[in-house]
Amino acid sequence: MPRRIGAGGRGKLACACTAIVAGVLGVAAPPANASVAHVVGPGETLWSIAAANNLTTRTVAVFNGLPEDALVVEGQTVNVPTVDEGAAALASGGVTAATDAAVAAAVAAPVPEGAGHTVVWGESLSSVAAVNGITVEALASANGLAADAYLIEGQSITIPAATAATSSSAGLGHIPSPYGELHLDPAAADSWNAMREDSLANYGVDLYPGGPASAYRTPEQQAGLYQEYVDGTGAPANPPGASTHEQGIAVDVPEPAMRDVIDQIGGGYGWSGTIPSEWWHVEYGW
């Protein structure tokens, strides 16, 4: 993830999988190397500032004495802590890093179809739907809710089975992952699997997507992730139709070690990073 944001600077949040087109919501400030005062730019939120610096929203909020759902406005100053400063602020507020990580993991974890799910802080209908590969409308309908309803921490909801429209992988290739079989364009999948075997044999590093929506995405999944970003509660994401994930030629990896291997051998398989500031995103055919 990017590092801390330098005061007054701006860098482009642009990635086919994880960044909104800069012209839509402005740009985010580039990273810096120390704790700094950051002046909020157009379209920025506590979440986007935290994500750009590899911090949780909770960390930045607690460090600044703000609630996690606080709105920030253009021109406002937000202090971006170092990792140590952020951890100290969380500890003084009674929040441990383990607790923060557990919340993040719970938000990101997919739920078996038909199972019940207990809402954790920061989740919304769109985020839960996107993680589970279903539409917001399907999730809302299964729970007797309006599509724009808010979820409350501790609320129990049911995750319905994905429909053929949202789960179809017809014509796509397959790649293994901790979340089950995921999909890519056939040529991209074949190349990924060959690169993965090379990585395992020669580097001892497995290569896999970082989540169930980190390889191919349906338009419904992309729409959910985009809405989450617009709402300020999810990762930066392009609008539907503007992501290479929808083409099945992009993967987001969860660990820098994976990206290091791809940088070394990926060119021979057609895989490479396309955005220098976003180490997790790699694409096929570039």
**Do 161 and 175 fall into the same domain?**
no
Quote the pLDDT of residue 103: 45
Quote the pLDDT of residue 122: 63
Quote the pLDDT of residue 207: 94
Say if 247 falls within a structural domain.
yes
pLDDT beneath 70, residues of the chain: 1-34, 43, 93-115, 121-122, 127, 130-131, 133, 162-169
Quote the pLDDT of residue 247: 92
**Do 54 and 156 fall into the same domain?**
no
Say if 226 falls within a structural domain.
no
Say if 223 falls within a structural domain.
no
Pick the last residue of a domain from 145, 165, 185: 165
Please name every residue paired with 72 in a beta bridge, in sequence order, or none if there are none. none
**Do 35 and 56 fall into the same domain?**
yes
Quote the pLDDT of residue 35: 74
Identify the CA nearest to 65 among candidates 41, 43, 46.
Answer: 46
**Do 254 and 196 fall into the same domain?**
yes
Quote the pLDDT of residue 93: 67
Q: How many CB atoms lie within 10 A of CB 100?
A: 19
Q: pLDDT tens, 192-225? A: 999 999 999 999 999 999 877 889 988 888 888 8
Q: pLDDT tens, 94-138? A: 654 444 444 444 444 555 555 678 887 667 777 677 667 677 788
Say if 8 falls within a structural domain.
no
**Do 198 and 270 fall into the same domain?**
yes
**Do 174 and 272 fall into the same domain?**
yes
- The sheet with strand 281-284 has its strands ordered as 250-252, 281-284, 271-273
**Do 185 and 267 fall into the same domain?**
yes
Residue 129 sits in a domain whose CATH number is 3.10.350.10
Identify the CA nearest to 235 among candidates 64, 54, 36.
Answer: 54
Quote the pLDDT of residue 14: 34
**Do 88 and 176 fall into the same domain?**
no
Say if 13 falls within a structural domain.
no
Residue 277 sits in a domain whose CATH number is 3.30.1380.10
Say if 9 falls within a structural domain.
no
Q: How many CB atoms lie within 10 A of CB 204?
A: 9
Q: What is the largest CA-CA distance in the chain?
A: 53
Identify the CA nearest to 236 among candidates 44, 99, 82, 95.
Answer: 44
**Do 64 and 130 fall into the same domain?**
no
Say if 183 falls within a structural domain.
yes
**Do 30 and 74 fall into the same domain?**
yes
Contact assessment for residue 252 and residue 1, using Cβ atoms and an 8 Å cutoff: no
Q: How many domains does the chain have?
A: 3
**Do 157 and 180 fall into the same domain?**
no
Say if 130 falls within a structural domain.
yes
**Do 161 and 174 fall into the same domain?**
no
Q: What is the pTM of this model?
A: 0.50
Q: Which domain holds residue 140?
A: 109-165
Quote the pLDDT of residue 114: 56
